[in-house]
Amino acid sequence: MYSPKVMEHFMNPKNVGEISDADGIGEVGNPVCGDMMTFYIKVENDRLKDVKFKTFGCGAAIAVSSMISEMAKGKTLDEAMEITNAMVADELGGLPSHKMHCSNLGADALHKAIENYRQRLSFSERVAPAVASAGKEIKPEACKCPFCSSPISSENLNCKLCGVNFRFCPECHKPIPEGATVCPFCKSDVSTVRGEKE
């Protein structure tokens, strides 16, 4: 029923555990089969320095988690985001059709951990290194809409995609929706701040 590689990763799973100071955490579950997977990642220079997981589920779910952690470690974040359920199943020497959802869950958990890491990064952490390496200053047009990630126009601080008007928080200097009374990023009271750019 299972390939030798599936059995190897089930009997001796790699990278089991939790990263207490994880840079990103992704958790998924399947209410039908009861499988639960949580992935923890450490990121260094845009690469996955460490990947660990905790899985509650069948042998295939454990084998999939182990294989994904091995496949992802050392990859850039973009490369890891390209890992698919089919790739995982191939690396394991195939999975029974009724267990393919396990490989999908594992890939989703890894992707969610990476997305969680990226959401945690502040504007300056995401943009400043790339801008500095290009020998340029950070400019307003580098700002992204927190709702859809589209560039915000530097002229009128408006997101063309979702139509939201913005201003800058006087405390953390991140774009916040016009009319907001509390900054969604630093939680500062901005109810008395005027709408123009600071």
Whether 102 sits among the annotated catalytic residues: the reply is yes
The per-residue pLDDT for range 162-190, each reduced to its tens digit, is 667 777 777 777 777 777 788 777 788 88
**Lowest-confidence pick of 59-68, 80-89, 91-100, 123-132:** 123-132
In the predicted model, what is the mean pLDDT of residues 16-43?
A: 86
29, pLDDT greater than 70: yes
pLDDT computed for residue 139 by the predictor: 45
Structure tokens at 119: 């959401």
pLDDT computed for residue 7 by the predictor: 86
**Lowest-confidence pick of 15-19, 29-33, 50-54, 98-102:** 98-102
Domains and CATH numbers, the chain: 4-120 (3.90.1010.10), 137-177 (no CATH)
Average pLDDT over the chain, rounded to an integer: 77
Cα separation, 28 vs 50, whole angstroms: 19
Number of H helices, E strands in the chain: 6, 5
Structure tokens at 152: 């915000």
Cα separation, 118 vs 122, whole angstroms: 9
110, pLDDT greater than 80: yes
Q: What is the torsional sign of CA 96, 98, 58, 78? A: positive
pTM: 0.60
Q: What is the 3-state secondary structure (H, E, C) of 167-190?
A: EECCCCCCEEECCCCECCCCCCEC
Name the DSSP letter for residue 82: T
Q: DSSP strand E in the chain: where?
A: 24-29, 36-44, 47-56, 166-168, 175-177
- 116 — pLDDT class (breaks 50, 70, 90): confident
69, pLDDT greater than 90: yes
Show Cβ contacts of residue 33 under 8 Å, excluding neighbours closer than 6 positions: 57, 58, 101
91, pLDDT greater than 80: yes
Q: Given the residues 102, 143, 145, 159, select the one marked as catalytic.
A: 102
Contacts by 102-106, CB closer than 8 A, 24 or more apart: 102/35, 102/57, 102/58, 102/60, 102/61, 102/64, 103/64, 105/28, 105/29, 105/30, 105/35, 105/37, 105/61, 105/64, 106/37, 106/61, 106/64, 106/65, 106/67, 106/68
Q: Given the residues 33, 58, 172, 186, select the one marked as catalytic.
A: 33
133, pLDDT greater than 60: no
70, pLDDT greater than 90: yes
The β-bridge relationship of strands 36-44 and 166-168 is unpaired
